[in-house]
Amino acid sequence: MLPLTVMVLLTAGCGTHRAGDTADVYRRSGATPTGISTPGKPTDFPCFGESPKPTASTAAATPSSTVPPTDHYAENHGFRVPIPLHGQSRCDGLTAVKRVKSALEPLRRRGDFAPDSVRNALTGLGYSAGKVQAYQDGSAGVGFLIDIGASPWCVEGTMSSEVTKADAFGGYPDGTGCEPPNGGH
């Protein structure tokens, strides 16, 4: 009987304290309660060989409308948006992208768009053959995906007769590796 009484008292509450009172006090004062961490924005800094980016004006960053969008496509497909890299990981990703582009540029100039040639060039950089994918991308191009394997850390891109594109990212929100997930939430 005693445990039941204690349970009823705990769930009923006492006094005049209402949910949110403490948060309101801290919000008004600008302080953070001790023991509670607030998430910070990831820090980015210029990487070697990169010039600092100009800061965007606040007018450009302010949304023009406060009406929520009626189309939920972006919200429903957010699981397919790659996770960006920040800090030193971003710098390491930019270095990997430069190495990949440099290795593929001779193939692009020769017009060699065979997936096997791309895979061989990428494994020649030291990436594991089991972690490198290369595939035909349209009639005159090739796509590639490299799973670097560090929590995940990925390089993806395409090569066509005009240009080689590559980007480094940290996997997907609902995925466990570099492959885009098949379904979301």
SS3 for 87-122 is HHHHHHHHHHHHHHHHHHHHHHHHCCCCHHHHHHHH
Q: Is residue 113 part of a domain?
A: yes
For the residues 93-103, what does the mean pLDDT come to? 94
Adjacency order of strands within the sheet including 132-136: 132-136, 141-147, 154-160, 164-169
* DSSP letter assigned to residue 24: H
Q: How many CB atoms lie within 10 A of CB 72?
A: 10
Q: Is residue 155 part of a domain?
A: yes
Q: Is residue 1 part of a domain?
A: no
What's the chain's length in residues?
A: 185
Q: Is residue 30 part of a domain?
A: no
Q: Is residue 62 part of a domain?
A: no
Q: Is residue 133 part of a domain?
A: yes
Please state, for a pLDDT cut of 70, what percent of the chain lies above it: 59
Q: Is residue 19 part of a domain?
A: no
- Residue 17 in this model has a pLDDT that exceeds 50: no
What is d(CA 24, CA 22) in angstroms, rounded to the nearest whole number? 5
Domain containing 146 equals: 81-169
Tally of domains in the chain: 1
| Least confident segment among 27-31, 72-76, 94-98, 111-115 | 27-31
Close Cβ partners of 183 (under 8 Å, ≥ 6 residues apart)? 79, 174
- Residue 179: φ, ψ to 5°: -75, 135
- What pTM value is reported for the model? 0.64
Q: Is residue 52 part of a domain?
A: no
- Residue 149 in this model has a pLDDT that exceeds 80: no
